[in-house]
Amino acid sequence: MRPRRLVALLAVSPALAGAQGAKLLAKPDAEFAEPFTSVTGIRELRDGRVVTIDVRDKLVQIVDFKGGSATKVGREGSGPGEYALPMRLLPLPGDSSAVFDPLNSRLLVITPDGKAAGFIRMQEAPTGAPGRGFRAGFAPPRFADARGRLYWQGQSIQFREGAPPIEGDSAPILRLDRATQKVDTVAFVRVPKGNVSASGGPGRVQMRVGLSNPFVARDEWGVLPDGRVAVLRSPEYRMDLVGAGRKATVGTPIGYTRLDLTDKHKQQWRDARKNQVAIMMTIDNGQRRASAGPPPTDAPEPSDWPDVLPPFLENSAFPAPNGTIWVARTREAGDETPNFDVLDASGKVVARYELPKGTRLVGVGNGVVYAVRNDEDDLQYLQRYRVQ
């Protein structure tokens, strides 16, 4: 097997996000007193406690807003009940949660009482074809439905023996049914060109994934509790709902004001890239080695800057337990007020909200949203806002 080295840039900074006529969620109803370094995900439990992950501190905790306490879950490592890099948090049935750990190629299952309850293993295999086993490859699971099925975006890359990889313009959305261990393709999304750079020759191929222009239009997606996949099309801005048998209900286009891309937008992106985490992975004769650190300093800057911004950027979809999708909208450079369209299952905008200046949405719960604010030392504080 040819060794392959992959590098993915996983943003932990907010997407640049505007909508008119939005209701301001001006004041949180709760803020946790202890700071975080970089909150990348939350999972709300039925009793109001929140499971959190901090990617920079490599920390998983259960936060109790009412009691003002935080309970650490597991510890750093590669053994039972351990994680090397908690990157993403997924809800599972029964108030359990799964912590995606790319460096150990697995997900750690956590019970509501904060105990480790085994792993969901990730088998090393191509991501493009359905089959048996968890074929996540390098792509992290992004969502889970009410049955605990896991969803992730496969790669648009086709590997060829003795030749550079071919990059396609679409990628599959894959689903693992943990009960049967069957993986199937449930939808396809359009992805931007230029996301992959390959170099090297026979015997070793080095690849970097995640290099496409961040402001180029791309589809986004999320999963409703019943397992339907909401695909947000860009730049036309509509939501298609894909159900059983990949049957899609095409939504009505949503009007939006097109904003010019400015040099200030580009500089904001350059500044945000400094806070990203790069996962570097080598696959050699079936053996996987991974490490995490700052992005490569020689990563090229995009040359294909568009003239206008798309309606939303990457990682802008936040599914809610009630079946709606919160969509973070693009905004003018220098506008620090995040705002969101809330879409129902038919793809219609049913509400618009704004968060306070300088905050960042990290998750949606039952009648609430969770955000973080940064203080003058760049420490993050987890907040909860009631949605009315």
**How much is the pLDDT for 303?**
77
Q: How far apart are CA 201 and CA 2, in angstroms?
A: 10
Question: Is it the case that residue 126 has pLDDT exceeding 80?
Answer: no
**How much is the pLDDT for 181?**
86
Range of the structural domain that residue 26 is part of: 4-386
Question: Is it the case that residue 7 has pLDDT exceeding 70?
Answer: no
Residue 274 pLDDT grade (very low, low, confident, very high; cuts 50, 70, 90)? confident
pTM for this one?
Answer: 0.85
Which is nearest to 186 in space by CA: 146, 156, 149? Answer: 149
Across the chain, mean pLDDT equals: 84
**How much is the pLDDT for 43?**
96
Residue 233, both tokens: 């099309």
Cα dist from 385 to 28, 60, 186, 388, whole Å = 4, 22, 33, 10
- What are 148-183's pLDDT values in tens digits? 999 999 877 666 666 666 677 889 999 999 888 899
Cα dist from 376 to 30, 180, 194, 212, 380, whole Å = 20, 49, 36, 32, 10
Number of domains in the chain: 1
- What are 35-75's pLDDT values in tens digits? 999 999 999 999 999 999 999 999 999 999 999 999 999 99
Mean of pLDDT values over 124-147? 59
Residue 233 near residue 242 (C-beta atoms within 8 A): no
Residue 359 near residue 383 (C-beta atoms within 8 A): yes
Cα dist from 24 to 19, 28, 319, 344, whole Å = 11, 11, 20, 20
**How much is the pLDDT for 139?**
72
Residue 346 pLDDT grade (very low, low, confident, very high; cuts 50, 70, 90)? very high
| Greater model confidence, 14 or 370 | 370
CATH number of the domain to which 310 belongs = 2.120.10.30
Q: How far apart are CA 151 and CA 143, in angstroms?
A: 5
Question: Is it the case that residue 34 has pLDDT exceeding 90?
Answer: yes
Question: Is it the case that residue 205 has pLDDT exceeding 70?
Answer: no
